[in-house]
Amino acid sequence: MAMELDVLVEKVGKDPLFNLDIVELKSGNTTIILDFPREIGAIRQKERGKLVISKEAPKEKKGYIFNGIVYKSSKNELQVSFYGLWMRINGENLEEFAQGDKVYVQLTLSE
């Protein structure tokens, strides 16, 4: 079971307290908000790429890979905790995962 989205980096905001960027990605009517640690890389507005969420570890080790736990999942919302960081997805007809599932999130970007 995997969810794949072609994404566009819509906005990159700075967290005022922590060394994080708050990255907003768009895929059609779906919005993804991702807490992104600045020390692992820089994401720029208007970059395009692919976001894959799966229960299995990615076979290709490219881009940014996070593993976390599903906090909340429905057809319209998915929230994943990366041990203190968050990813929130709002959209329609999202792939559903069970609460507590361990998932891998792979974000691969290209300009």
Count of domains for the chain: 1
Residue 41: its pLDDT value, please? 83
The model's pTM? 0.91
CA neighbours closer than 13 Å in the CB half-sphere of residue 28: 8
DSSP string over the chain: -EEEEEEEEEEEEE-SSSSEEEEEEEETTEEEEEEEEGGG----TT-EEEEEEESSPPSS--SEEEEEEEEEE-SSEEEEEETTEEEEEE-SSPPP--TT-EEEEEEEEE-
CA angle 48, 7, 49 (to 5 degrees): 40
Residue 107: its pLDDT value, please? 96
Give Rg (Cα) of the chain.
Answer: 13
Strand partners, 36: 21
Residue 111: its pLDDT value, please? 60
Its domain, for residue 87, covers: 2-110
Per-residue pLDDT of the chain (111 residues; tens, 9 = 90+): 799 999 999 999 998 888 899 999 999 999 999 999 988 888 999 999 999 999 999 999 999 999 999 999 999 999 999 988 999 999 999 999 999 999 999 999 986
Which CATH number goes with the domain that contains 28? 2.40.50.140
Residue 38: its pLDDT value, please? 86
The letter for the amino acid at 24 is: E
Residue 42: its pLDDT value, please? 85
